[in-house]
Amino acid sequence: MGLKTTTPVPVPVPVPVPDSEPGTGTGTGREQDRWGQNDPPLVRWGLTLAAMAVVFVLIVIPVVNVFSQALAQGLGTYWQTIVLDADTRAAIRLTLTVAPIAVVLNVLFGVSAAWAIARFRFPGRTLLVTLIDLPFSVSPVVAGLVFVLLFGLQGYFGPWLRDHGFKIIFATPGLVLATAFVTFPFVARELIPVMEAVGPEEELAAVNLGASGWQMFRRVTLPNIKWGVLYGVILCNARAMGEFGAVSVSAQ
């Protein structure tokens, strides 16, 4: 009985499909970047110079002017004012008291809010994100007035606070509230996209391997978001140090 031979069936070789032509919007990211680099030099340099001009006019010039005016009479006069003027020393002490408290409160809230928003889907999530952004759209003076209307002597909680010996407005607690309000979004808004980008996979792996909640946060979550926390703290502290509107309304 003879052997039966079979004819090999040719295997189709996949033919590489070329990326779409420039301008169709369906090419790879690398090719799209190359297309963008092929823009006319006039467009590239024009946009770059326009952006640099805006930054220079709106940021660089005002900052340089502030420092030049503050140091117009020399460092000696500036230092002497800090040392000899009692009001200046009191203002610095008050700032160094209020700003750290507001930053710590916002860090605690920002980490908690970012964790909840990035890791869970729950009713009211969109409302929470909207409320976090609210201080960006409210005038600091209006924010200070709101606290006066709530905690002032003629405010909603004013009589109860007065009867029980608590003083919020025109005192350090009122300044902390006003500063914490205007700096409210910075830490949370920096951490939400960072935590969404990192994802929960490493945290779930740590929990499955037996880590407790605190161990997971300290060894997995915190190292992944540390630069976002640092950036949020810097922005929050800078705004707290420079805030005037809400603080002036709450303190006068």
221 closest CA partner among 122, 111, 117, 121:
111
CB 234 within 8 A of CB 190: no
Q: Which residue has the higher pLDDT, 147 or 24?
A: 147
CATH number, domain of 136, equals 1.10.3720.10
- Rounded Cα distance between 78 and 76, Å, is 5
Kindly state whether residue 78 falls inside one of the protein's structural domains: no
CB 141 within 8 A of CB 178: no
Amino acid at 189: R
99 closest CA partner among 243, 232, 252, 245:
243
CB 244 within 8 A of CB 178: no
Kindly state whether residue 3 falls inside one of the protein's structural domains: no
Residue 159 has phi, psi (to 5 degrees) of -60, -40
**Length of the chain measured in residues:** 252
Using one digit for the tens of pLDDT, what is the confidence trace for 198-242? 888 988 898 898 888 888 988 999 999 999 999 999 999 999 988
Kindly state whether residue 25 falls inside one of the protein's structural domains: no
Kindly state whether residue 100 falls inside one of the protein's structural domains: yes
Per the structure, the count of domains in the chain is 1
pLDDT at 170: 83
Token pair in block for residue 20: 């779409």
pLDDT at 72: 80
Using one digit for the tens of pLDDT, what is the confidence trace for 161-201? 888 888 888 888 889 999 999 999 999 999 999 999 988 89
Token pair in block for residue 10: 């040719």
Q: Which residue has the higher pLDDT, 46 or 2?
A: 46
- Rounded Cα distance between 95 and 8, Å, is 84
Kindly state whether residue 190 falls inside one of the protein's structural domains: yes
CB 39 within 8 A of CB 45: no
Token pair in block for residue 234: 């810097």
31 closest CA partner among 40, 44, 45, 18:
18
Of all residues in the chain, the percent with pLDDT exceeding 70 is: 85
Mean pLDDT of the chain: 82
Whether residue 3 has pLDDT greater than 60: no
Kindly state whether residue 197 falls inside one of the protein's structural domains: yes
Kindly state whether residue 223 falls inside one of the protein's structural domains: yes
- Rounded Cα distance between 34 and 71, Å, is 48
Residue 112 has phi, psi (to 5 degrees) of -65, -45
- Rounded Cα distance between 213 and 221, Å, is 10
Kindly state whether residue 154 falls inside one of the protein's structural domains: yes
Instruction: Show the domain range for 92.
Output: 86-251
pTM metric for this prediction: 0.73
Of all residues in the chain, the percent with pLDDT exceeding 90 is: 35
Using one digit for the tens of pLDDT, what is the confidence trace for 44-70? 899 999 999 999 999 999 989 988 887
